[in-house]
Structure 1
């Protein structure tokens, strides 16, 4: 059984425990996690794992870099998808402010009072400036949608409008290309409603969309 599946199963069992199904004790949950090869020791020695999990989950995401340095178990824990869902379900997912300058996205964490540079978005090639795109947050991930790539050097095409959508996962700290828009567009309206993304208006190479 792979590590991520084991961690996800651990969170499922902890959620059951917290929701009132006490047919399984925390010790049994720990034993299951050990069998899966995900958590070899107590999360925090001296504390029940469900309480330790709550303590870690309430820490700002800005401290995850330090959490990952504690142990391999902690690193796997804070990077797994179930961890982000657990934080969101309990209302512990903090709000971040994202800013863009010179093709570099940075995030401000108000709880930790820190700015964090995001990894490079591989969709942006050297020699091109990205502008006119939209950003929304869905399911604790940042989506960078569409926009226009403007060449820094004389070329046949001085700019290119794109339909590409890139998703940044702050827990895994990685970008991933997801399904693109049907129409390339830049300088458009965009909003996230009930977990879905809506776009309207904007321009492509030849006409308004």
Structure 2
């Protein structure tokens, strides 16, 4: 007789547990101690990999409440609140967020606080901390720290490895960082990669397009591109600039005002594809892609009112299904249940 499910051997029971969606795991934990142990086990994570049971999530972190992440299960349209990031840094902001190997990674950043004053001015040093979160076991784990502490930097995933580049070493003294580095999740180690050819006194962000890392600085017309095979940076012109963007397949979608444009190449010809009514008056919203959909997440209803809550908060989520041939489909996903205000990080996760 099985100790997990009556009439089934434990091996078969584990196969059944492995196919239960994550949003139902809290209910499984309440059944008995044996089920709770299975649901929280590393073994279940391994079996999910063996049976190739994969779920897709959009991971979101906002200014309110601090250090809270939620995962949106697109298939079942439910939000899952995960354990609080155990970092000791209060109100961690301007960090990098990516996913690879079935885990969410939170990298670097700076404390958004007015408690640290240097020479009468706000100056908070960046961190080189790196955290990973595994959704099945619901555990945060500290990873090898970045070689350099940085904030407001570019990050992306190439061939399963995390690339970070640029940014600043603290929140006030704008000394741009030219160094770039790469993290291998398998070895839990960082190695340097070639420096950026150009540095700018402006925050930067990253996008991976056609297996190449793109680094863009806000308000500047240039993009720096890293070829993963040659490990060489090239500099090109780009029309992306300071606009929110999402990458679907090999295509880039840029949001300017309320209009979303499809760009068939970096800095190339643009074609208007959709008008997202209401987002012209928003600030601090997140834009990312999951599969063939673009997410427009949260933010604040009044321009310039960032880092506000109450009437300015917007937990709403719009999902656009992208098609190059057909008319786009728009639907409202269920609103976030905890996250409010400015979106600090959003990234897709396949686990």
Q: Same fold (TM over 0.5)?
A: yes
Answer whether contact 2:131 2:142 (CA < 8 A) is retained: yes
- TM-score between the two structures when normalised by the length of structure 1: 0.70
**Secondary structure of 1:136's match?**
strand
In the alignment, what sits opposite 2:261? none
Q: Which runs of 5+ in 1 are unaligned?
A: 1-29, 31-40
Summarize deviations over 1:78-129 as a string: whole Å, max 9, x none.
Answer: 211121121123221311111111222111122342212222222143xx43
Secondary structure of the structure 1 residue equivalent to 2:106: strand
Contact 2:57 2:73 in 1 (8 A): yes
- Which residue in 2 is equivalent to 1:131? 93
Alpha-carbon separation, structure 2, partners of 1:142 and 1:200: 19
Could you say which residue in structure 1 is the equivalent of 2:339? none
**Pairs within 5 Å for 1:70-89:** 70-89=31-50
C-alpha displacement of 1:43:
2.1
- The equivalences for 1:56-205 within 5 A come to 56-102=17-63, 103=66, 104-125=68-89, 128-153=90-115, 155-156=117-118, 157-205=122-170
Judging changes above 3 Å, is the alpha-carbon distance between structure 1 residues 154 and 161 closer, same or farther for their aligned structure 2 residues?
A: closer
* Structure 2 residue 177 is the aligned partner of structure 1 residue 208: yes
Distance 1:120 1:184, change over 3 A: same
Gaps of 5+ in 2: 179-351
Q: Is the Cα–Cα contact under 8 Å of residues 57 and 92 in structure 1 kept in the other structure?
A: yes
Contact 2:14–2:44 under 8 Å retained in 1? no
Structure 2 Cα separation of the partners of residues 188 and 177 of structure 1 = 20
Distance 1:123-1:56 versus aligned 2 partners, 3 A rule:
same
Distance apart, 1:46 and its partner CA: 2.0
Q: Which has the higher helix share?
A: 1
Contact 1:60 1:112 (C-alpha < 8 Å) held by counterparts: no
Contact 1:150/1:158 (CA < 8 Å) preserved in 2? no
Distance 1:85 1:195 in 2: 18
Q: 1:159 to 1:150 in 2, by over 3 A?
A: farther
Query: Quick one: distance in 1 between partners of 2:74 and 2:39?
Result: 19
Residues 75 and 63 of structure 1, relative CA distance in 2, 3 Å threshold: same
**CA distance in structure 2 between the partners assigned to 1:101 and 1:46 by the alignment:** 46
Distance 1:120 1:107 in 2: 13
Residues 1:113 and 1:72: Cα distance change in structure 2 (over 3 Å): same
Determine if contact 1:124/1:130 at 8 Å carries over to the other structure.
no
Task: Report the Cα distance in structure 1 between the residues aligned to 2:59 and 2:108, rounded to whole angstroms.
Answer: 17
CA distance in 1, matches of 2:50, 2:153: 32
The Cα RMSD (Å) is: 2.2
Structure 1 stretch displaced more, 191-200 or 76-85 = 191-200
Moved over 4 A (4+): none
**Matched residues, number:** 168
TM-score w.r.t. length of structure 2: 0.44
C-alpha distance in 2, partners of 1:134/1:55?
A: 35
The structure with the greater share of residues assigned to strand is 2
